Structure 1
Amino acid sequence: MGHPVNADEPTSEESHGAARPGITRRGVLAVAAGGLVAGTVITLSGWTPQPKPILAPSGGVRRTPLPIPPLAEPEIAHDGTRIFSLTAQTGQSRIHPAGPTPSWGYNGAFAGPSLRAAEGDRVRIVVRNELPETTTVHWHGLKLPAQYDGGPHQPIAPGEEWIAEWEIEQPAATCWYHPHTHGTTEAQVTRGLMGLFILQDELSEWSGLPIDYGVDDVPVLVTDRSFNADGTFAARERTAFGLLGDTVIVNGALSPTFEVTRALTRLRLLNGSSARTYHFVVQGAPMTLVGTEAGLLPDPTPINSVTLTPGERAEVLVELEPGQTAMLQSVPHSLGLLQSTSRAAGAEDRFDVLELRAASSFAGPDLTIAGLGMIAQVLPPPLEAPDVTRSMVLTNNQINGATMEMSRVDQVVTVGARERWVIDNQHHLPHNLHIHNARFLVVSVDGEPPRDYERGWKDTVYAPPGRPVIIDVEFGRSADPEWPYMFHCHWLMHHDMGMMGQFVVIDDTQEPPTAISTPAVHAGNPGGGMNGSH
């Protein structure tokens, strides 16, 4: 049963799809070639998904207190290095009332602890794999040496450990970590493997932003699943977009509520879903954007809504009065798709995500949005003369006409280069692009300025069909011709089916490699393959 809401539809300023025709002539031709048929049942690339509305609770539902992932306490080495330990393990989670759900997590049954470090810190993370199959841990949004990136070239076999160590070289941001195996990422993330990696810096700490973790600085990991009658995950209900569930899970809980005890609450929103896009609004209170996935904005920005495709994040502030209740919801939105495709992608669903229920009185610091100082450095203007311009053409599970090949070098980046990437989705399905070891600013979408929630530092961007997206990219400081980074679609089924490429970063003294020969390539990528265990 759907929960009634009064949210307005996105305005033309909020949605490229509403401001312009839904798709270009080229996109319509691509849809026709792909066999799209209007109606309640559609056929996309060989899949036949039924539009399946999400199961939102009724107004009288009993809500669960929002679980807060533990904040990992690092061991501090004699040289100041912050040492974290993560164990990927199996478990049983109490998520669904039908029964216990077999799940995977880090240091627990589902999801993992939040890691926290500051710009300039040196971190060492010891990862142990107690799963029955090979995994990896990718630090999504982090700039770091390629050999510690945690992509498919750093597999961790069952019973083995892997150590990543680097110096944090970027300012405050909400990053995250998750598996990045070649061919089985969707399956492993769906079982529960994910967690936040929170970065801090001096400017944001002194700005007046809420920083009391779990009290007024709240992680909100939003995912969706379908369940079998016994409470187990229905992991094989795929559509053309991937696993599109009918039940929302927030921090491992259904129908959660959070008791607000401060006037100002900071929500760190993560879209941890495989294929669902969320169009977040807050019913009952204003919402203020303070950060996109790769960094904070210089100044708080009042917004009506924020759209997050898989892998994207946002930091928003909600200001409540004592006794007030507000609801974080996802409402219908436009992805720039044909209506039947949009419906099958879940873009027409309405549902509650998180209830915010303020206490009768507040304690703690008296923070307000009006009292915030400058929270980040001013964003640079678009590049007038990029050193390099690259074209990224997205088609059916391919980038620039190729699927992922572990030994192939697709792009070579020179450290320190100022690059502009032009992303052109020529497919009829939705895709986005995530770039490892980088952050970027969106210059334009189909020649128009980015929406408010796309104007900060990002590492993942949505690419509407037929509408080129231009971004200016800033890479990390590390250079290594032997270990590659990835760029890929973060719709995880597309990712697993090979919609990914590789690049290496070199300096002026290094020769560009012609092939990749990491141990994972020599070993045939243990744990990879298209049909990982489910």
Structure 2
Amino acid sequence: MSRLKRVLTLLTTVTVVVGLALGGGFLWLYSDAKVSTAGTRFSQELAVPPLAKSTVKSDGTRVFDLTMRAGSKEFRSGRQTPTWGFNGDFLGPTLRAERGEKVRVRVRNTLGEESTVHWHGMHLPAKMDGGPHQMVAPGATWTPHWTVDQPAASLWYHPHPHGRTETHVQRGLAGMFLLDDDTSARLALPKRYGVDDLPVIVQDVRFDGAKFDHGHKMMSDTGFLGDRTMVNGTLEPYKEVGDELVRLRLLNASTARVYHFGFADSRQFSLIGTDGGLLEKAVAMDRIQLSPGERAEVVVRMKPGERTVLRSYPQKNYGDFWQSRFGGGDDTFDVLELRARNTLRPSPGLPAELGRLELPKGSDSERTRFFGLMTSGINGRRMEMGRVDETVTRGTAETWTVRNDDGVPHNFHVHDVQFRVLEVDGKQPPPELRGAKDTVFVPAGRTVKLAMRFTGPADPDTPYMYHCHLLYHEDIGMMGQFVVVEKGQKAGSVRTPHTHPGH
């Protein structure tokens, strides 16, 4: 009995010690997982991507040239980081075109591996979409062409190779594609690019010595989460502005991180546009949440000599305590400092009316579809390149119900279309979700209803994608394919991806 008592005492002591060690280790991991860069000293002037040069052919086609290339960039003094970029070492120029213009982009790949360029938010033929079926081999040139047929908007472009999108975007392959139209040209909005109309491409990064660290955060299945942010490839950026009103075209170009943007002094700003273009009227706000791939156009008023900081705040709808802490929902980032000059140019007040939404209202939907989101796949299936998951009829409107069926944050992006958010958990969507959208955040347990119209052209053999735009999730199979067909036509046979040869 004495020996048994000693053994039990020893076992109890070991159990307590192990429990305390595990508990202490978890508490350390839990406290260490929260990231904050609040109080950043902004030391570098914000880089503004140049407007891409173009030529106009005799038939009116505007031609751009983009070259995917490897390079290096000195993000931090004295340290060169290996990067990828378009026409440069990191990111790419801003393409700009008008509604009604014919556009042609010569995309050349000088990388050591195949990639592709997807025109995120653009309405265009499936063969020109730049998804995983339009791969560009090393040394090859791909030349998509289409006619711009959608309202003025802040779109973007990035790679879309199946299974490797996260890494290609992290390395620096991304840029903005701005569309203009007659309506936006007439409006008294800030519109001098790089002066009072600023592209704000936000990415989170982490460095491993001189190189980017692309590893995933421990105890998180969200994807890559960095410990600092940069804007337009600039760490700790500031921008001196000389106008009373400044327009920020916010783009979440991170691969997994969700931002909750506001200003450090809690000032209000005016939301004037979402993914697919201008709202009907400006909306006063002090916070806006953007998941990867989403955009928002906001206008902020400045006073002479003042400074204000664009900040990303912790998020209340991100999920349970585990996801909030280990998946990035508790994090805070100081993103960009605006510095007003002592004398500012007067800016006219914002127009009472902005744009007109060219979106279906749901009442004319001819079909409904359901999409259940889980990390393991959509509707229980992982992506397969040769399988058509949905077939839609050209010219018809549909309502898609999208629900997050697991505890991990997701979002939902549909190629080719802009959609109207009809409902969020059965209720009217908040103001920031009432404009044209192509990507929507779907936190754990949330259900959204989306109305969209498919205006073609029909192509039964070439699919568009729908997927989670947290790119790690996309890469592991949270993606499906749909084709647009004429009435009565069936989906064709989707071939294996065609890699465009060099020429």
Per-residue CA deviation, residues 85-109 of structure 1 (Å, 9 max, x unaligned), is: 0000011111134611100000000
**Residue 90 of structure 2: aligned partner:** 110
Per-residue CA deviation, residues 310-363 of structure 1 (Å, 9 max, x unaligned), is: 111100001111112111100111234101211111111122100011011124
Residues 466 and 286 (structure 1), Cα distance of their counterparts in 2 relative to 1, 3 Å cut: closer
Query: Greater CA radius of gyration, 1 or 2?
Result: 2
Deviation at 1:475, TM superposition (A): 2.9
CA distance in 2, matches of 1:41, 1:312: 34
Per-residue CA deviation, residues 105-131 of structure 1 (Å, 9 max, x unaligned), is: 000000000001111111000000011
Q: State whether structure 2 residue 240 is matched by structure 1 residue 259.
A: yes
**Residue 396 of structure 2: aligned partner:** 417
Deviation at 1:367, TM superposition (A): 2.5
**Residue 302 of structure 1: aligned partner:** 284
Which of 33, 41, 48 pairs up with 1:52? Answer: 33
Letter in 1 for 2:186: W
Residues 94 and 54 (structure 1), Cα distance of their counterparts in 2 relative to 1, 3 Å cut: farther
Is contact 1:482–1:518 with CA below 8 Å preserved after alignment? no
**Residue 343 of structure 1: aligned partner:** 325
Secondary structure of the corresponding residue to residue 131 of structure 2: coil
Is contact 1:38–1:340 with CA below 8 Å preserved after alignment? no
Letter in 2 for 1:245: G
Deviation at 1:397, TM superposition (A): 3.0
Which of 255, 266, 271 pairs up with 2:252? Answer: 271
CA distance in 2, matches of 1:411, 1:40: 47
**Residue 225 of structure 2: aligned partner:** 244
Letter in 1 for 2:43: R
CA distance in 2, matches of 1:415, 1:381: 14
**Residue 153 of structure 2: aligned partner:** 173
Letter in 2 for 1:417: T
Residues 468 and 82 (structure 1), Cα distance of their counterparts in 2 relative to 1, 3 Å cut: same
Is contact 1:57–1:255 with CA below 8 Å preserved after alignment? no
Deviation at 1:474, TM superposition (A): 2.6
Is contact 1:408–1:514 with CA below 8 Å preserved after alignment? no
**Residue 513 of structure 1: aligned partner:** 491
CA distance in 2, matches of 1:202, 1:193: 31
CA distance in 1, matches of 2:150, 2:407: 36
Q: State whether structure 2 residue 418 is matched by structure 1 residue 439.
A: yes
Deviation at 1:69, TM superposition (A): 0.3
Is contact 2:357–2:435 with CA below 8 Å preserved after alignment? no
Residues 38 and 472 (structure 1), Cα distance of their counterparts in 2 relative to 1, 3 Å cut: farther
Q: State whether structure 2 residue 100 is matched by structure 1 residue 120.
A: yes
Secondary structure of the corresponding residue to residue 324 of structure 2: helix
**Residue 383 of structure 2: aligned partner:** 404
CA distance in 2, matches of 1:451, 1:142: 24
Deviation at 1:57, TM superposition (A): 6.1
Is contact 1:443–1:471 with CA below 8 Å preserved after alignment? yes
Alignment of 1:166-205 (within 5 A): 166-205=146-185
Which of 189, 208, 224 pairs up with 1:228? Answer: 208
Taking structure 2 as the reference length, the TM-score comes to 0.90
Aligned residues: 476
Secondary structure of the corresponding residue to residue 243 of structure 1: coil
Secondary structure of the corresponding residue to residue 218 of structure 1: strand
Secondary structure of the corresponding residue to residue 132 of structure 2: coil
CA distance in 2, matches of 1:202, 1:51: 51
Is contact 2:98–2:148 with CA below 8 Å preserved after alignment? yes
**Residue 503 of structure 1: aligned partner:** 482
**Residue 16 of structure 1: aligned partner:** none
Deviation at 1:175, TM superposition (A): 0.5
**Residue 21 of structure 1: aligned partner:** none
Is contact 2:357–2:436 with CA below 8 Å preserved after alignment? no
CA distance in 2, matches of 1:209, 1:335: 32
Letter in 2 for 1:206: R
Is contact 1:483–1:518 with CA below 8 Å preserved after alignment? no
Q: State whether structure 2 residue 331 is matched by structure 1 residue 357.
A: no
| Unaligned runs of at least 5 residues, structure 1 | 1-36, 43-47, 527-534
**Residue 77 of structure 1: aligned partner:** 57
Q: Which 10-residue stretch deviates more, 339-348 or 454-463?
A: 339-348
Deviation at 1:294, TM superposition (A): 1.1
Per-residue CA deviation, residues 354-401 of structure 1 (Å, 9 max, x unaligned), is: 0011011124xx423x34252201566732252010101112230111
Q: State whether structure 2 residue 302 is matched by structure 1 residue 320.
A: yes
Secondary structure of the corresponding residue to residue 482 of structure 1: coil
Deviation at 1:235, TM superposition (A): 1.3
Q: State whether structure 2 residue 128 is matched by structure 1 residue 148.
A: yes
**Residue 63 of structure 1: aligned partner:** 43
Is contact 1:40–1:51 with CA below 8 Å preserved after alignment? no
Is contact 1:51–1:343 with CA below 8 Å preserved after alignment? no
Letter in 2 for 1:126: R
Q: State whether structure 2 residue 366 is matched by structure 1 residue 384.
A: no
CA distance in 2, matches of 1:252, 1:438: 29
